[in-house]
Structure 1
Amino acid sequence: MNLFNPTKDQVREFFCTAWQKQVANGILTPLESIAARWMVEHPEYHDVLNQLELAKEKDFSVENGQTNPFLHLSMHLSMTEMVQVDQPKGINAISKELTLKLDSEHAAQHQMMECLGQILWESQRNGTEPNMQEYLLLLQRL
């Protein structure tokens, strides 16, 4: 699997396999451990995570009011990595402060993910690189 540009099926298989290992108390890779931590926090996704073939076939449509669990979990992974390596610079401190303020790392990540989603949407709409300075400004306003 290309870690930097996986296919939709590869992403879904990664999460479903990691979930199966978690449920079976199997040995997880470091990345799977992070993913499993967030999957535990989202019991509403467990049914689809338990069914790889369904997961690969299912279309999660915003138009139908559906959240794509694989996109959501991928954003948790990305956010965790950004905070761990403090990129963009300052995100680690912002995450810690927001986690204390909300008394929940999970709630903090959800708010931070909203900011990231906005930056990514603007980047895609404008055909430009994501503006990480603007991202930090949005995070600082939380």
Structure 2
Amino acid sequence: MFTPSREDVRRFFAQAYRKWRDQLPLEPIEAMAADVIALHPEYFPLLEDEAALVRDYTPEDGGLNPFLHLSLHLAIAEQLSIDQPPGIRAAWQERLAARGDLHEALHDVLEALGETLHEAQRDRLPPDNARYLERIRRTKR
């Protein structure tokens, strides 16, 4: 099983960004990452800054860890591409229709994923896929 380090993940996003920015050929997973990065232009400077790649991002900083945020987006993109857990594509379509905005809908799914992973970690159980899908379907507006 591939278990990348924090630095590996950050360098992966920086490399995908540079290749995308420079219009170089991308591997399929890099293309998926580039699509996620394109939704976050506020992160472009970070992906070009060596110091940002090694910085610790803590809750006390008052912001999100941009690399965790991108990683969760990428996990969702992969889930949607293979409909895993089963039914996530349908739940996603419902969420997108309810929101009417791609990025806001993705952030709803990201929040649901974060809650589901937190709950699983807290309870020392596997993530509850049914609960995850239920969270995605929840209407916020």
Q: TM-score, normalised by structure 2?
A: 0.92
Structure 1 unaligned segments of length 5 or more: list them: none
* Displacement of 1:100: 2.3
Instruction: State the 1:42 CA deviation.
Output: 0.5
1:117 aligns to 2:121 (yes or no): no
Alignment of 1:47-58 (within 5 A): 47-51=45-49, 53-58=50-55
> How many residues in Structure 1 have an aligned counterpart in Structure 2?
139
Q: 2:28 corresponds to which letter in structure 1?
A: P
1:36 aligns to what?
34
Q: Does 1:9 pair with 2:13?
A: no
**Counterpart position of 1:24:** 22
Counterpart code for 2:5 = T
Instruction: Tell whether the 8 Å contact from 1:12 to 1:55 is kept in structure 2 after alignment.
Output: no
**CA-to-partner distance for each residue in 1:42-72, whole Å, 9 max, x for gaps?**
0111111012x31332111111112111111
Aligned twin of 1:94: 91
Aligned AA for 1:21? K
1:104 maps to what in 2? 101
> Contact 2:95–2:105 at 8 Å: present in 1 too?
yes
Unaligned runs of 5+ in 2: none
Question: What percentage of residue pairs aligned between the two structures are identical?
Answer: 39
2: CA distance, partners of 1:13 / 1:86: 27
Cα displacement (A) at 1:33: 0.7
Following superposition, the deviation at residue 40 of structure 1 comes to 1.2
Give the equivalent residue in structure 2 for 1:84: 81
Q: After TM superposition, which residue ranges in structure 1, 4 or more long, deviate above 2 angstroms?
A: none
1:136 equivalenced with 2:133 (yes/no): yes
RMSD over aligned Cα, in angstroms?
Answer: 1.3
